[in-house]
Amino acid sequence: MVLTKKQYNAVVVVEGKDDTIRLKQFFPGIETIETNGSDVPDTVLTELQELAHKREIIVLTDPDLNGERIRRLVTKAVPTAKQAFITRKEGEPHKKGSLGVEHASKKALVRALSVLHEKKLPSSDLTRKKYQELGLASGPNSRKLREQVGIKLRVGYGNGKQFYHRLQTFGISLAELKQAVEEVKDEH
């Protein structure tokens, strides 16, 4: 896949130089900003805020705790930032190393950069009660179900509270969520 002009206008926020190297391997014209770890410097956040006036910002971090922390910090500073996700499986190293974007295949990265989520005004008809009724919170298999539904919807993983908030933030409807839950249950 070739990035579209709109995506070339984007700046992708990644954790480190290995992520940048991996993205440039498949998308030579892509521009990144590296946070260099989970303690995102204020200078980087300020740079992203200024860039957001002219360019699209896409957050693509590792599918782990530090990646989520970076995602939260960047999104707080730049609420219009779009969100791209890879799954934990897609980020697994082939030999040794830690989970990360630098290990993702071209297919996984194309998919991540093609399915972008953005913060929407509260428009979801999803309620906490319906969310719980679908088995996504405090049930015996809720963690595994959230993980699989997160993969299906390409929104990443979160604990019960975080995942509900993420679904709300991205405007995932009750119908979309029900369908994803049903598909996951049918697959297993």
For the segment 72-97, what is each residue's pLDDT rounded down to a tens digit? 999 999 999 999 999 999 999 888 77
β partners of residue 11: 31, 57
pLDDT tens-digit map of 28-77: 899 999 999 888 999 999 999 999 999 999 999 999 989 999 999 999 99
The answer to whether 63 touches 15, Cβ cutoff 8 Å, is no
Residue ranges of the domains in the chain? Answer: 5-114, 128-187
Q: What confidence category does residue 122 fall into, taking pLDDT thresholds of 50, 70 and 90? A: low
pTM over 0.75, yes/no: yes
CATH class of 5-114: alpha beta
Question: Is residue 123 very low, low, confident or very high in pLDDT (cuts 50, 70, 90)?
Answer: low
Residues 6+ apart with CB under 8 A from 170: 83, 117, 118, 119, 120, 155
